[in-house]
Amino acid sequence: MVDWIPNLPVVLIAVVALVGMALLTLAIYALVMHLAESERAEALQALSPGMLPPMGILFALIVGFLAVGVWGNVDRAEEVISDEASALRSVVILSDDLPPEVRVRMRAHIRRQIESAVNDEWPAMREQRAILSPVPAPLADALHLALRVDPQDETEMEVRRELVTSIQDALAARRQRIFLSESGINAVKWLALLSLAALTLCAIGLVHSANRTTTRLAMGLFALAVAVVVTMLAAENEPFQGQLGIDPDLLEQVLTRP
């Protein structure tokens, strides 16, 4: 899939899909009608309509396989962002039990991390150029700060333990978030989907080649269905891109806590 298409509004994605399928359908229709007027017309008209249901089932299976992957990635991305926001909020809440100076520094680190995620990581994820290798400095500083806390009793010991666990959970969720930003339908799968759609259009045209009106109607309806499928998959193909991409709202809400 062309990289710029998922970044379009859904309506424009639908227009691109419709225009593309219309051009493909017209080309296949012209080819089929040319063959139907040649000496091969009798052989083409002898093709059994029974070949269409298996092709339709195969197309539906591929669409289902791709849709499950796309929606699964979106669901997992929303889940890990919720986990990350929950972990960061836990750090902020637990910091209430820290000494005043440490509490201020801890919250400053969390604020820096969220601002970095919103301002730097999110644009990078939308362009699929975010990388996992560097550990974010604000979370690393927060973890070091938590480990340097000197607990005076069992309660403070438990607070430090929970702080370290929450920061580690935030790091793990961030890794998953960036990993999921690279997910999507690759070029081979798009090619397979569109190739099977083209083959099915050819089969529809050949089976109904004796009647041009029926051919145009059947091919047009199937092409419209394919355009709907392509629009649906392209609009949610990459969890953080486009009009339906996931926003960092949950992370920003952590900053609203006093």
Q: What is the residue-wise DSSP string for 23-91?
A: HHHHHHHHHHHHHHTSTTHHHHHTS-GGGHHHHHHHHHHHHHHHHHHHHHHHHHHHHHHHHHHHHHHHH
Three-state SS for 9? Answer: coil
Mean pLDDT of 175-200: 92
Of the two residues 232 and 42, the one the predictor is more confident about is 232
Which of these ranges, 36-45, 191-200, 213-222, 223-232, has the smallest mean pLDDT? 36-45
Cβ neighbour number for residue 12 with a 10 Å cutoff: 13
172 vs 32, more confident: 172
Count the domains in the chain. Answer: 1
Residues 72 and 146: their CA atoms lie apart, in Å, by: 35
Which of the pair, 258 or 143, is modelled with greater confidence? 143
Q: How many residues does the chain have?
A: 258
pLDDT score at 41: 65
Say yes or no to pLDDT of 48 above 80: no
CA–CA separation, 252 and 163 (whole Å): 20
User: What confidence tens digit (pLDDT) does each residue in 243-254 have?
Assistant: 888 899 999 888
**Residue range(s) defining the domain that contains residue 165:** 5-254
Residue 258: the pLDDT is: 53
pLDDT at 77: 94
Q: For 81-97, write each residue's pLDDT tens digit.
A: 999 999 999 999 998 88
For range 154-178, the mean pLDDT: 91
Structure tokens at 167: 């920061």
Confidence of residue 9 (pLDDT cuts 50, 70, 90): confident
Q: For 106-127, write each residue's pLDDT tens digit.
A: 999 999 999 999 999 999 998 8
- Over residues 39-49, the mean pLDDT reads 68
Burial of 6 (0-12, 13-18, 19+ CB in 10 A): buried
Across the chain, mean pLDDT equals 88
pLDDT tens digits, one per residue of 125-163: 988 888 877 788 999 999 999 888 887 778 778 888 999
- Full-model pTM: 0.82
**Rounded mean pLDDT, 211-240:** 92
pLDDT of residue 46: 67
For the segment 165-187, the average pLDDT, to the nearest whole number, is: 92
